[in-house]
Chains A and B, each alone.
Chain A
């Protein structure tokens, strides 16, 4: 690419970047909405390429022009478990137009020597046909790369990015072997986290975890704000016996609860997110759904049990947020 082409690319990007940012926000909001609908805890971020990265990429990839260069907008969702990556990727077509997912895990597995290394799913995305802003952001120009990965995959990606493990550089054989071992270790860890999570949420002797998992699945449909797990487990341990039901039966209640009361719950969550002074510390916790359920089903027992362990005024704040008065 000639110097004048690079200069032109610089000028073009300075002019285009704000509209690409706006487009990126649009896709990000859609993705966040879908992740919320699925009830998955995720960190979603969006960035437009900074001018230096853009020029460097054009220098390193001379086959590209300014127009053909992808990845001008990048959106990343980092989740906890592989099954969540699969769920999000599967539902991407409902959010935006998208390419077939480029799943590096699949690609590595297909290779002859079954390599290990950077794993992530990438999709090229654009606004769907019929989108009200399609004229403003035509799909021939406005594309965003969406990456979906687990925390462990993210760790590998970040560290390998900084240490050029994945560049085409010739690396000494013994070092290469150690890098592969490390990548394998991270992949094993990732798989194990998924398996442990799966098993823990099915063990009847770990009722609190099972109930917490069921609560999280519904809670993240209402809020992306993570709770404090230790506090969650303490609250669940204190209150779940009030149901006099098995953990499986209790876990099933919350899906039903959200189906019936989603509009009210979302309204209250939106209100509470606007006021930090006016809400209980127990509000943005997954077990808030259990408290809400018990406020309606066991108001007297709940108050009695709550005061054995937690400040009554916190329950009172939660109750008033949901329209219940103790006065």
Chain B
């Protein structure tokens, strides 16, 4: 799991760009590969890092792990490169393999882009950043020559990433945390398409990386739902606020949205006085604050409500899966349950 302290201590030691066009049937195309890494420029690095933090630390970022079985060579390249000491000589060929694989994958409606690989450390631990910047068709990138070898210098960023308006941004950070093949802390984000979308393009980035979400969406959804209801019941005393937040939880969980971001929910629906305590409660309950695809398959029964409205204005709502606790007779309604709270509105 990528944490703010990880992003704060991210250092970029090497960086390279490759221009990776889209493969179009019948047309000759090939990636333009840099042969040497770019010269680092402190101010541009600082700016680039700020953009990476904004994306990888955003509400839309998600924690990932390598897929055990994948067609992508990316996991193996990352495992191998980050093992042991830094091997600067292998950086350029490694990055070219990423670019070549991206080119092979970039067909159909995938966009052309500039792929950047960064050799990094996070609190001294080795890591790699993989970044794809999309650019307009026809936009030219200027190749430079360094010691007789071609390269894209950091100035290419000026038009692609350093302008505030750049939105088309796919990023991933892999930090080695131990010697094992899966000892990584990894996160990703696709600012162009939320990964929860069902279409092919939305899955493109994860497939390219050979990764999957660290937590099954159905588990993440259930954990948030249960923790949120627990908090609403135990920590919100005001009955009006309690009802409102409860309704928002039910409504968001039942919505047609593809993804759910807990931090967005907090900002939009949780009363100000409860934002920090609620977020802390979610953390205590091991609920990830990162975005996840909404999958209500494990809570669907609890989301459905059955409502009973009486002649004198009483209203009883019960979870559909608990409907048998209500016994309705001609002049009475009996609920076989224990009263835990009475709110006076």
CB of B13 within 8 Å of the partner chain: no
Interface string of B252-272 (1 = CB under 8 A from A): 000000000000001100001
Q: B337 → chain A, closest Cβ, in Å?
A: 35
Which residue from chain B places its CB closest to the CB of A279 in the assembled complex? B46
CB of B236 within 8 Å of the partner chain: no
> CA of A297 to CA of B275 in the docked complex: distance in angstroms?
11
A275→B43 contact, CB < 8 A: yes
B57→A325 contact, CB < 8 A: yes
Q: A270 → chain B, closest Cβ, in Å?
A: 10
Q: Which residues of B contact A267 (CB under 8 A)?
A: 8-9, 123
A322→B8 contact, CB < 8 A: yes
- Per the 8 Å Cβ criterion, residues 1-16 of B in contact with A are 3-11
Q: A274-B42, A300-B267 in contact; A327/B59 too (CB < 8 A)?
A: yes
Q: Which residues of B contact A327 (CB under 8 A)?
A: 54-55, 57-60
Q: A275-B46, A277-B43, A277-B46 in contact; A323/B275 too (CB < 8 A)?
A: no
Q: Which residues of A contact B46 (CB under 8 A)?
A: 271, 274-275, 277-279
Q: Given A263, A268, A300, which contacts B266 in the complex, CB threshold below 8 Å?
A: A300
CB of B94 within 8 Å of the partner chain: no
CB of A301 within 8 Å of the partner chain: yes
Main secondary structure of the interface of A (DSSP, over half): helix
CB of A324 within 8 Å of the partner chain: yes
B58→A299 contact, CB < 8 A: no
Residue of B42, B47, B58, B123 with most partner-chain A CB within 10 A:
B42
Which residue from chain A places its CB closest to the CB of B273 in the assembled complex? A301
CB of B276 within 8 Å of the partner chain: yes
CB of A144 within 8 Å of the partner chain: no
Q: Which residues of A contact B7 (CB under 8 A)?
A: 323, 325
Q: Which residues of B contact A276 (CB under 8 A)?
A: 43
Q: B26 → chain A, closest Cβ, in Å?
A: 40
Q: Count how many chain B residues have C-beta atoms less than 8 Å from C-beta atoms of the other chain.
A: 32
Q: Which residues of A contact B58 (CB under 8 A)?
A: 325, 327
- Per the 8 Å Cβ criterion, residues 34-75 of B in contact with A are 42-43, 45-47, 49-50, 53-61
Q: A264-B5, A267-B9, A277-B43 in contact; A300/B275 too (CB < 8 A)?
A: yes
Q: A264-B5, A297-B276, A301-B275 in contact; A325/B267 too (CB < 8 A)?
A: no
CB of A308 within 8 Å of the partner chain: no
B8→A321 contact, CB < 8 A: yes
Which residue from chain A places its CB closest to the CB of B48 in the assembled complex? A278
CB of A52 within 8 Å of the partner chain: no
> CA of A267 to CA of B57 in the docked complex: distance in angstroms?
18
CB of A304 within 8 Å of the partner chain: yes
Residue of B5, B47, B55, B61 with most partner-chain A CB within 10 A:
B5
- Per the 8 Å Cβ criterion, residues 292-323 of A in contact with B are 295-301, 304, 317, 320-323
Q: Which residues of B contact A320 (CB under 8 A)?
A: 50, 53-54, 57
B4→A324 contact, CB < 8 A: yes
Q: A304 → chain B, closest Cβ, in Å?
A: 7
A301→B8 contact, CB < 8 A: no
Q: Which residues of B contact A271 (CB under 8 A)?
A: 11, 46
Q: B4 → chain A, closest Cβ, in Å?
A: 3
A301→B55 contact, CB < 8 A: no
Q: A259 → chain B, closest Cβ, in Å?
A: 15
Interface string of A229-273 (1 = CB under 8 A from B): 000000000000000000000000000000001011001100100
Q: Which residues of B contact A295 (CB under 8 A)?
A: 4
B276→A299 contact, CB < 8 A: yes
Q: Which residues of B contact A300 (CB under 8 A)?
A: 266-267, 272, 275-276, 279
Q: Given A261, A274, A301, A323, which contacts B272 in the complex, CB threshold below 8 Å?
A: A301
Q: Given B4, B42, B56, B275, which contacts A275 in the complex, CB threshold below 8 Å?
A: B42
Q: A302 → chain B, closest Cβ, in Å?
A: 10
> CA of A317 to CA of B54 in the docked complex: distance in angstroms?
10
- Per the 8 Å Cβ criterion, residues 236-293 of B in contact with A are 266-267, 272, 275-276, 279
> CA of A326 to CA of B58 in the docked complex: distance in angstroms?
7
B9→A264 contact, CB < 8 A: yes
> CA of A261 to CA of B5 in the docked complex: distance in angstroms?
9
Q: Which residues of A contact B57 (CB under 8 A)?
A: 320, 323-325, 327
Q: Which residues of A contact B60 (CB under 8 A)?
A: 327
> CA of A274 to CA of B9 in the docked complex: distance in angstroms?
14
> CA of A4 to CA of B127 in the docked complex: distance in angstroms?
64
> CA of A324 to CA of B59 in the docked complex: distance in angstroms?
10
Q: Which residues of B contact A264 (CB under 8 A)?
A: 5, 8-9, 123
Q: A311 → chain B, closest Cβ, in Å?
A: 15
> CA of A295 to CA of B11 in the docked complex: distance in angstroms?
21
Q: Which residues of B contact A296 (CB under 8 A)?
A: 4
Residue of B3, B276, B279 with most partner-chain A CB within 10 A:
B276
Q: A271 → chain B, closest Cβ, in Å?
A: 7
> CA of A276 to CA of B46 in the docked complex: distance in angstroms?
10
> CA of A271 to CA of B11 in the docked complex: distance in angstroms?
9
Q: A94 → chain B, closest Cβ, in Å?
A: 26
B54→A268 contact, CB < 8 A: no
> CA of A278 to CA of B57 in the docked complex: distance in angstroms?
18
> CA of A297 to CA of B45 in the docked complex: distance in angstroms?
29
Q: A257 → chain B, closest Cβ, in Å?
A: 13
Q: Which residues of B contact A298 (CB under 8 A)?
A: 276
A325→B275 contact, CB < 8 A: no
Interface string of A175-188 (1 = CB under 8 A from B): 00000000000000
Please name the 10 residue pairs, one residue from A and one from B, whose CB atoms are nearest each other, closest first: A278-B46, A323-B7, A325-B57, A323-B4, A323-B8, A275-B46, A327-B58, A300-B275, A320-B53, A277-B43
A-B contacts, 6 of them at CB < 8 A, read A263-B123, A268-B9, A274-B46, A276-B43, A325-B55, A325-B58
Known A-B contacts: A267-B123, A325-B56, A327-B58. Give 20 more (CB < 8 A).
A261-B5, A263-B9, A264-B9, A267-B9, A271-B46, A274-B42, A277-B47, A296-B4, A298-B276, A320-B57, A321-B50, A322-B8, A323-B5, A323-B9, A323-B10, A324-B53, A325-B7, A325-B59, A327-B59, A327-B60
